[in-house]
Structure 1
């Protein structure tokens, strides 16, 4: 399952004190933290038709108090996923209510590369 492989890669960032959550972080989670979710999925069969490769589009969000901290963490995520997927988009913004900065990265990933 792609989500397990992605979480295993992201939790290596967690080892430096960054919390990682699927979908949403618990209420009152203090930044910095990362959330991830599947934004799309497709199955691809091989030429032999006996094996299926799970391909998904995943959105990874990084929440921080400081803008530059978010950029640094985004680079750490990019390093972890280097050669394991295709980055489709990267944008940054700030939530008006919480004033947290966030980085959003969309990746195309497959389970054969993440396993």
Structure 2
């Protein structure tokens, strides 16, 4: 059975040295790394019940030691999630972020991903 998380994990596995994590990265992880989490989606439930076609709004964040590296990797993420077999749709453009506590640069983007449950 497919899940949005397994689809994203497989699509991004080759990026950021394979450091791709659901929700939160391990403590002291090598940079750069990618985290992702489901942030809702479209519910296709009707009076006939739930459909096997499911949707997830997946938020992906790249963390790196430089702005340039974060920007490059989020472009790779976009390519991986919009190409076959995922065929995700970006929800807006990527957003640049900076984390004062860790001195890391980030790039965040949301994707709509449809899949069969």
The TM-score with structure 1 as length reference comes to: 0.84
Cα distance, 1:18 vs structure 2: 4.1
Cα distance, 1:53 vs structure 2: 0.7
What's the counterpart of residue 74 of structure 1?
74
Within the alignment, does 1:97 sit opposite 2:101 as a pair? Answer: yes
* Contact 1:85–1:110 (8 Å) recurs in 2: yes
Cα distance, 1:4 vs structure 2: 0.7
Q: Which ranges in structure 2 are unaligned for 5 or more consecutive residues?
A: none
* Contact 2:41–2:112 (8 Å) recurs in 1: no
What's the counterpart of residue 112 of structure 2?
108
What's the counterpart of residue 11 of structure 1?
13
Aligned pairs, how many? 110
Q: Work out which of the residue numbers 77, 83, 88 in structure 2 matches 1:85.
A: 88
Q: Which ranges in structure 1 are unaligned for 5 or more consecutive residues?
A: none
> Which deviates further from its counterpart, 92-101 or 36-45?
36-45
What's the counterpart of residue 28 of structure 1?
28
**Structure 1 residues 41, 82: closer, same or farther in 2, change over 3 A?**
closer
The CA RMSD measured in Å over matched residues stands at 2.2
The structure richer in strand per residue is: 1
Local SS of the residue matching 1:44: coil
Q: Deviations over 1:9-61 (max 9, x none)?
A: 011325xx141000000111121000000000344269x97952110101100
